[in-house]
Structure formats: C-alpha cells, structure tokens
Amino acid sequence: LAKTTQPISMDSYEGQEVNITCSHNNIATNDYITWYQQFPSQGPRFIIQGYKTKVTNEVASLFIPADRKSSTLSLPRVSLSDTAVYYCLVGEISRDSSYKLIFGSGTRLLVRP
C-alpha cells in the first residue's frame, strides 16, 4: 500500500515560489505520482503527473528523485488564487490491475497578500 505523507499546511506570500514535498516510501515500480488541487466546495482538479526526474507544465513542476520515495510539487510565483488544498497521490493497482485513487489528507496552502 503506497501511502503518502504531506505537511498539513503551509503559508506563503504572493509572488513566492512554493514547494510542497510528499513522501511515499512504499511506491511500487509501476506507480506514477499525481498531484491534485482542490478549492472549497469543488472537486479536486488534476495538476501534474510524473514517474521520475522532472516534469513541467504550464501550472507547476514536479521533481522526483532517483529513488522515487518522495516528490516535490513546485508552484512558481504563487498568487492569492493558488490558495487551496494540494493532494499527492500514488496509484494503487487493485486485483484486476485497475487503479484506485487513494487521497491522503492533503496540504492546505494559504497564500497571503
């Protein structure tokens, strides 16, 4: 069972870079690492996914070291609208090889003016 551990909360200021680290010591060979963002009263939204090294898209970067036991979501120059809960997930393969998505408690990011 590839459980994840993240900080409960983080504070930042507008314009700063924010790095949220997630540990997943039991990650399996085939597992990908995925991050979601959730605003109040909305369902989570996919941000980024990676397997190893670095992945970048228009929203964020994801850094994964060689041992893959942790990952870091990097949000460049955050704004007030980035205030949200961020979840790190590692895919868990069920008996029939389909993925069931297990969310942890997430990291509550507060961006201040």
What residues line the site for other proteins (CB under 8 A)? 30, 32, 34, 41-46, 49, 51, 87, 89, 91, 93-106
Structure tokens that stand for 84 in this block:
């949200």
CB of 55 to other proteins, least distance (A): 13
CB nearer other proteins, residue 81 or residue 97: 97
Nearest alpha-carbon partner for 83 in 110, 45, 106, 59: 110
CB of 48 to other proteins, least distance (A): 10
The CA distance from 94 to 88, in Å, is 19
CB nearer other proteins, residue 58 or residue 113: 58
The CA distance from 2 to 70, in Å, is 11
